[in-house]
């Protein structure tokens, strides 16, 4: 999607200027991976409009493979606006009937997954339209049949759908998910359990790796039956949006590096910490050198 935001806090109605950027959980993850040198592709649909060009240019500029992005002549590219009023962030979506809401089973050829280790999906897609709700389980099954592991981030967005619908859609995905990522707040909104009950229940539903993201507090996880806790990194938060996607990119990159569960979680927390220190959904994500320096707590004099 295109993201429209004023450069300073305040009500949108009084904004004298806005900036155009992009957002979108899946493209954020792809960009996060690409910045770390992990080859990543993005499957989506964009309008044949100027906003579609903007999204395509920015995602491509990050080195993400966009060959599987479909352009749709009669649908607009999705849009979202954000404002910060008395310290609280609010987003407004303009994505009903968007090009991305036409994602449906059969969207991509299994050949798109050739050489892939993971297909990363998020629950947001399921909220866009009935056909995009069907896309998610189809995509997960297609990946599994091709021997590709599936990671799934619940990513509940209360402005798009009701908790009961989001919960049912997520639960239907679980048998075909290898890595499940869920935020503590959304877990409580959907399942109402405490963190530990939530982890156990979700881990019993299929995924071998279940990670509960707890923001600045880090994360807890059950990985192949082992329970782990990983603390967050103390940083000054400027903008929380995109942190979960950064976390997902870190977790997947570390898995692909062959790191063990504790290091995967630590890397994921570090990526989240990078993200929240900058404005924008993905702009602050690090390259490999920056991430390594942060993980090693090496001081970079910057000049």
Residues that bind ligand KDG (CB under 6 A): 23-25, 28, 124, 157, 241-242, 244-245, 281
- 9: region left, alpha or beta (phi > 0 left; psi from -120 to 50 alpha): beta
CB of 29 to ligand KDG, least distance (A): 9
In DSSP terms, 120 is beta-bridged to 151
CB of 293 to ligand KDG, least distance (A): 25
Residue with structure tokens 């200027």? Answer: 17
CB of 100 to ligand KDG, least distance (A): 10
1 Cβ partners below 8 Å, 6+ apart?
A: 22, 23, 24, 55, 77, 78, 79, 80, 95, 98, 100
Look up 153 and say whether it is catalytic.
Answer: no
The smaller minimum CB distance to ligand KDG, of residues 203 and 276, is found at 276
23 Cβ partners below 8 Å, 6+ apart?
A: 1, 2, 3, 80, 241, 242, 281, 282
CB of 303 to ligand KDG, least distance (A): 32
The smaller minimum CB distance to ligand KDG, of residues 242 and 261, is found at 242
d(CA 279, CA 185): 22
d(CA 150, CA 230): 23
- Residue 137 sits at φ, ψ, to 5 deg, of -65, -35
d(CA 149, CA 162): 28
The smaller minimum CB distance to ligand KDG, of residues 44 and 267, is found at 44
The smaller minimum CB distance to ligand KDG, of residues 173 and 203, is found at 173
The smaller minimum CB distance to ligand KDG, of residues 52 and 242, is found at 242
CB of 202 to ligand KDG, least distance (A): 19
Q: Which one of the listed residues 153, 178, 239, 245 is annotated catalytic?
A: 245
* Active site residue ranges: 245
């Amino acid at each position: 999607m295109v993201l429209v935001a004023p450069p300073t806090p305040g009500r949108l109605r009084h904004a004298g200027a806005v900036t155009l950027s992009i957002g979108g959980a899946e493209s954020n993850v792809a960009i996060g991976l690409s910045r770390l040198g992990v080859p990543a592709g993005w499957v989506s649909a964009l309008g044949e409009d100027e906003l579609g060009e903007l999204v395509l240019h920015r995602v491509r500029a990050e080195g993400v493979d966009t060959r599987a992005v479909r352009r749709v002549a009669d649908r607009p590219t999705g849009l979202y606006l954000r404002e910060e009023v008395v310290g609280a962030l609010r987003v407004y979506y303009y994505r009903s009937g968007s090009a991305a809401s036409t994602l449906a089973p059969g969207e991509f050829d299994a050949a798109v997954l050739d050489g892939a280790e993971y297909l990363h999906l998020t629950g947001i897609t399921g909220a866009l339209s009935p056909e995009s709700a069907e896309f998610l389980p189809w995509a997960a099954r297609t990946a599994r049949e091709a021997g590709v592991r599936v990671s799934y981030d619940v990513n509940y967005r209360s402005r798009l759908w009701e908790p009961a619908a989001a919960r049912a859609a997520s639960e239907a995905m679980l048998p075909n998910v290898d890595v499940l990522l869920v935020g503590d707040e959304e877990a409580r909104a959907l399942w109402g359990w405490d963190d530990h009950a939530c982890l156990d229940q979700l881990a019993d539903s299929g995924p071998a790796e279940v990670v509960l993201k707890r923001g600045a507090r880090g994360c807890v996880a059950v990985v192949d039956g082992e329970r782990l806790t990983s603390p967050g990194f103390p940083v000054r938060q400027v903008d929380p949006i995109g942190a979960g996607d950064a976390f997902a990119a870190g977790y997947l990159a570390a898995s692909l590096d062959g790191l063990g569960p504790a290091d995967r979680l630590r890397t994921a927390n570090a990526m989240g910490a990078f993200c929240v220190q900058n404005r924008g959904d993905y702009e602050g994500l690090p390259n490999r050198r920056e991430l390594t320096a942060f993980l090693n707590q090496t001081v970079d004099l910057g000049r």
